[in-house]
A and B are shown apart, each in its own frame.
Chain A
Amino acid sequence: MLSMRQRPKTLQDNQVRNDFVIRIGGDTAIGGVISTGENFTAAAARLGFHVFTFRSYPSEIKGGHAWFQVRIANRPVLSLGDGVDVLIAFDQEAYETHRGDLNDGAVLIYDSDLVRADDGNFTHYAAPFQRIARQELDFVRGTNVLVLGLMAGLFGLPVTSLEELVRIRYKRRAELVGKNLQALAYGFEYTKQIRKEDKYYLGTSDHIRRLVMSGNDAITAGALHAGCRFFAGYPITPASDILEAMARELPKLGGMCLQSEDEMAALGSCLGASYGGVKAMTATSGPGFSLMTELLGLSSMAEIPVVLVDAQRSGPSTGMPTKLEQSDLFHALYGGHGDFPRIVIAPASVEDCLCRTVYAFNLAEKYQMPVILLSDQSLSHRTQTIEMPDLPHLKVVNRLQPTDGRDGDKYARYALTDTGVSPAGIPGVFPHAYVAPGLEHDEYGHPNLSRQVHEAMTEKRFRKLASVAKETDTPDWAPRYGHPRAEVGIIGWGATEGSILEAVNRALEKGYKVAAIHPRILNPLPETQLRQFIASVRRVLVPEVNYQGQFAHHLAGQLGVQPIRLNKIGGVPFTPGEILEKIEEVMTHA
């Protein structure tokens, strides 16, 4: 019999795999599918392991297949990895759905009463978990905690770390703490009776406490740090948790959160608050973003700063509400009637969500225009280990206000300036009263529909975008990785960065000359950075999770490049392997 508290003696050092992917699947009606994964992840992260999670759930409230995946390692993990090393199947559907994703040497853990798994290629750990929970523990709801104990035993997580977590999670329901601890211990002890035959074992970690947060958590934190004190939103997956967090946090900070009656009201009230001098944000997904489009034009026309988070999901129409896609890019870049500037920022990781949200507010306030922050379901809901942010890099910028116009000329809210930016009066302040106009207007904001004024004002508004570009055409906004003299260059955007990076690293190990650039700002494009990059490689590859190749199209239009496209749809992110495969294909044919 093998004690699971130490590294299994049957494994040699070089055989141990301490970077692996666990996937847990089951019907949401069972309950605990997601929470089992979350608890295991949280315990591992508290010990200093690096985690990267992904979840996929049905749009039904009760019932339907859900799954949670975590990649755990004792070094930073950039992506959700390739395939599955450990599958925990709570029911037959979970086994059937995911067996195709299992890697060689994978482990199957399942309830032997509920799942028939006959695949001989894998290591099986099966037991009647539910029956044990009912008969031995008289606590059928403890099944998932029992499995948690089993996982700790099998993969080398100290049971004490999970005990601590159970105490925290159930602190409001003391009667459940004891029952759950019992189930946990049962699962953990159970592993002593089975022989470990797989090679997955976490081993040692650095015990440094890092942050584990989701993209939505990071966006909320970034917004609050940037000074956002008004939020309005209408519930929509996968953006609702930003609304919920804001509703909880803003009142404590003297701010205001409004659950609006629809998305037009959401962006409308943000513009009202921002006109009043208070930094404002809304968060939505594709359908809501579509409804907001008309007000986006007002924001740009009347030069009222606002940050609009679009947590993209699969479209069109209602599409696949709980699945990711990067298919709102055209809408973000070009959506709306008339010519108007807007800034489009796409954070690439959870860490990035925090700092880019701060920069989004800074740019919105400094240049008085809408900033669209494009996230997607995988980034919004993934949790990831990140380091504590570096505060000096998160400086906050505020709106330029008129100094005083009382002694001089009449206040010209929309004064024509070299940068395009004109000081914005704030209601309540004498004597800067002006009307924020949806109509074309002169420097005072008075309606003026002459051709000359429309030309001058359109140019003024777009001049601001040129000013933004001067500030954002930098390596910080478009970091480059990989081989300095690469043959194949990858241009990615948004949440695909981790997979691209990992694919590039593996390609470099294989001797391929590959590089990648990952702009965080998509409008205005960091043109110099991109042109230099494109000029330095022989072929350009653009992977993105949409059908039309929206970013490739944008790059073609803006920079004249004709990239090779790699598109994926279907609601799951790119794996590093998929991108590596394409790199190899391009290298072979280059």
Chain B
Amino acid sequence: MPSRSATATAARTRTEVVPEEVGLTAKDFRGEVKPVWCPGCGDFGVLSATAKALAALQVMPHQVVIVSGIGCSSRLPYFMSTYGVHGVHGRALPIATGLKMARPDLKVFAMGGDGDLMSIGAGHLPHACARNIDITCVLMDNQVYGLTKGQGSPTSPMGHQSKSTPYGMIAKAANPILLALSYGASFVARGYSARPNELANLILEGVRHQGFSFIHVHSPCTEFFNTYDHYDSLVEALPEGWDRSNLPAAIDLALTDERVHLGVFYQEERPVYEVEARQFEKDSQAFDLLSYLQRFA
């Protein structure tokens, strides 16, 4: 591919000949590979919600790329019919960032677990939020390392006993919503995998949002930290008439731990990174080596 715009042109040409442009259902977004998750895993709910959201968008599967890290939840791209990258532990956001910058025509997701986004790759989150790049970031939080069979994670509650924390977790649990709000994410929401329809709506809103959207999903692990009963009893909708433009209120709400609120905590309109970065695009020129080199003559 000589340049990004050439790629985009190629993509458009091919798209026009696709017969079924409308009437996509969630099933059309599910791939051939059967999920490897344990029965009852919260990630099934996220998978189904993602497919539903994309069907509601009526976007073609080949115009979507789901980038993930490593862990149980990060297997998700294999179970979709979209493009995807199952990359390196913690690096879903950088890979998604490069892709979205290079190909703003695509719908780009970064999905991963609490290990990916809150631990090994946590250093990327502030920058993705601050740039406000148009990526939908879904944190599938089971508060435990499932794929490595049950060690404590940064979102495990204090005192949580696991194989790696036999005497209880000493560190305070990370608060993903609070972090995303303080990093300057322009769309911050929380969902629950056991409520896939609500979650599908949040993902749909997230994708429609212009800029970086962060969706924290409680997605319990039946095998190593079954929190279904806990969250079933704690989740509730945001307060009546919630003003999603009020950042201090969103932060206050994120700090309460008596209840687990579901919905869009915060949303603002802000310049979008890959749009701002393309301000000269309309005047862009082809590269000519010999004329470029004149500056060194």
Give the interface of A toward B (CB within 8 A).
209-213, 217, 221, 224-225, 227, 229-230, 232, 251-256, 258, 260-262, 264-266, 268-280, 294-295, 297-298, 302, 388-389, 391, 394, 396, 398-399, 425-439, 446-447
B81 interface hit (Cβ, 8 Å): yes
B98 interface hit (Cβ, 8 Å): yes
B94→A264 contact, CB < 8 A: yes
A252 to B278, CA, bound (A): 9
Q: Which residues of A contact B279 (CB under 8 A)?
A: 251
A268→B287 contact, CB < 8 A: no
Nearest B-chain residue to A46, judged by Cβ: B297
Cβ 8 A contact of A255, one of B4, B87, B88, B95: B4
B123 interface hit (Cβ, 8 Å): yes
Given contacts A225-B287, A265-B91, A433-B81, contact A439 B86 (CB under 8 A): yes
- Interface residue ranges of B113-159 to A (CB < 8 Å): 123-124, 126-127
Interface centre among A261, A279, A298, A437 (most CB of B within 10 A): A261
Cβ 8 A contact of A254, one of B90, B124, B281, B296: B281
Given contacts A269-B98, A272-B85, A273-B98, contact A227 B8 (CB under 8 A): no
A253→B284 contact, CB < 8 A: yes
B289 interface hit (Cβ, 8 Å): yes
Report B3-17 CB contacts with A as 1/0, cut-off 8 Å: 111011011101101
- Interface residue ranges of B51-70 to A (CB < 8 Å): 60-63, 65, 67, 70
Given contacts A230-B101, A436-B86, contact A262 B123 (CB under 8 A): yes
A298 to B88, CA, bound (A): 7
Q: Which residues of A contact B280 (CB under 8 A)?
A: 251-252, 254
B98→A438 contact, CB < 8 A: no
Given contacts A268-B87, A279-B1, A427-B103, contact A258 B297 (CB under 8 A): no
CB distance from A24 to the nearest CB of B (A): 22
A436 to B87, CA, bound (A): 8
A239 to B108, CA, bound (A): 30
B77 interface hit (Cβ, 8 Å): yes
A277→B14 contact, CB < 8 A: no
Cβ 8 A contact of A265, one of B70, B106, B127: B127
Q: Which residues of A contact B87 (CB under 8 A)?
A: 268, 271, 295, 298, 302, 436, 438
A232 to B277, CA, bound (A): 13
Report B258-297 CB contacts with A as 1/0, cut-off 8 Å: 0000000000000000100111110111110110110011
Q: Which residues of A contact B203 (CB under 8 A)?
A: none
A274 to B87, CA, bound (A): 13
B102 interface hit (Cβ, 8 Å): yes
Nearest A-chain residue to B105, judged by Cβ: A428
CB distance from A162 to the nearest CB of B (A): 18
A446→B33 contact, CB < 8 A: yes
Given contacts A264-B94, A272-B98, A279-B1, contact A433 B106 (CB under 8 A): no
Interface centre among A210, A212, A274, A438 (most CB of B within 10 A): A438
A388→B78 contact, CB < 8 A: no
Nearest B-chain residue to A266, judged by Cβ: B94
A435 to B88, CA, bound (A): 13
B297→A210 contact, CB < 8 A: yes
A279 to B7, CA, bound (A): 11
B22 interface hit (Cβ, 8 Å): no
Cβ 8 A contact of B18, one of A261, A391, A430: A430
A213 to B296, CA, bound (A): 6
CB distance from B44 to the nearest CB of A (A): 18
Q: Which residues of B contact A229 (CB under 8 A)?
A: 3-4, 102
Q: Which residues of A contact B206 (CB under 8 A)?
A: none
Given contacts A270-B98, A271-B98, A435-B77, contact A276 B106 (CB under 8 A): yes
Q: Which residues of B contact A256 (CB under 8 A)?
A: 4, 101-102, 274, 277-278
B99 interface hit (Cβ, 8 Å): yes
B285→A252 contact, CB < 8 A: yes
Q: Which residues of B contact A251 (CB under 8 A)?
A: 277-281, 284
A429→B3 contact, CB < 8 A: no
Q: Which residues of A contact B103 (CB under 8 A)?
A: 273, 276-278, 427-428
A430 to B17, CA, bound (A): 9
Q: Which residues of B contact A437 (CB under 8 A)?
A: 78, 86
Nearest B-chain residue to A218, judged by Cβ: B296
A391 to B33, CA, bound (A): 48
Cβ 8 A contact of A232, one of B33, B78, B98, B289: B98
22 A-B pairs (CB sep. < 8 Å): A210-B297, A221-B293, A225-B292, A256-B274, A256-B278, A258-B98, A261-B124, A265-B91, A265-B97, A265-B127, A266-B94, A268-B87, A272-B98, A275-B65, A276-B4, A276-B98, A391-B290, A396-B2, A398-B2, A429-B62, A431-B18, A437-B78
A380 to B96, CA, bound (A): 30
A388→B290 contact, CB < 8 A: yes
B42 interface hit (Cβ, 8 Å): no
A430→B62 contact, CB < 8 A: yes
A432 to B82, CA, bound (A): 9
A310 to B33, CA, bound (A): 39
A446 to B18, CA, bound (A): 24
A391 to B290, CA, bound (A): 8
B97→A221 contact, CB < 8 A: no
A262 to B290, CA, bound (A): 34
Q: Which residues of B contact A396 (CB under 8 A)?
A: 2
Q: Which residues of A contact B96 (CB under 8 A)?
A: 272
Q: Which residues of A contact B83 (CB under 8 A)?
A: 425, 427, 433-435
Q: Which residues of A contact B7 (CB under 8 A)?
A: 276-278, 426, 428
B106→A275 contact, CB < 8 A: no
B284→A261 contact, CB < 8 A: no
- Interface residue ranges of B222-242 to A (CB < 8 Å): none
Nearest B-chain residue to A445, judged by Cβ: B78
A230→B102 contact, CB < 8 A: yes
Q: Which residues of B contact A435 (CB under 8 A)?
A: 77-78, 83-86
A280 to B98, CA, bound (A): 9
Q: Which residues of B contact A211 (CB under 8 A)?
A: 293, 296-297
Nearest A-chain residue to B293, judged by Cβ: A211
Q: Which residues of A contact B278 (CB under 8 A)?
A: 251, 254, 256
Q: Which residues of A contact B101 (CB under 8 A)?
A: 230, 256, 258, 269, 272-273
Cβ 8 A contact of A275, one of B8, B78, B99, B285: B99
Interface centre among B87, B102, B287, B292 (most CB of A within 10 A): B102
Cβ 8 A contact of B94, one of A265, A274, A276, A391: A265
Cβ 8 A contact of B102, one of A252, A253, A261, A280: A280
CB distance from A462 to the nearest CB of B (A): 21
CB distance from A444 to the nearest CB of B (A): 8
Nearest A-chain residue to B12, judged by Cβ: A428
A18 to B70, CA, bound (A): 63
Cβ 8 A contact of A269, one of B32, B88, B94: B94
Cβ 8 A contact of B287, one of A224, A431, A433: A224
B102→A278 contact, CB < 8 A: yes
A428→B4 contact, CB < 8 A: no
Q: Which residues of A contact B277 (CB under 8 A)?
A: 251, 256
A136 to B4, CA, bound (A): 58
A278 to B102, CA, bound (A): 7
B97→A394 contact, CB < 8 A: no
A232 to B124, CA, bound (A): 14
Given contacts A271-B95, A430-B18, contact A261 B123 (CB under 8 A): yes
Q: Which residues of A contact B33 (CB under 8 A)?
A: 446-447
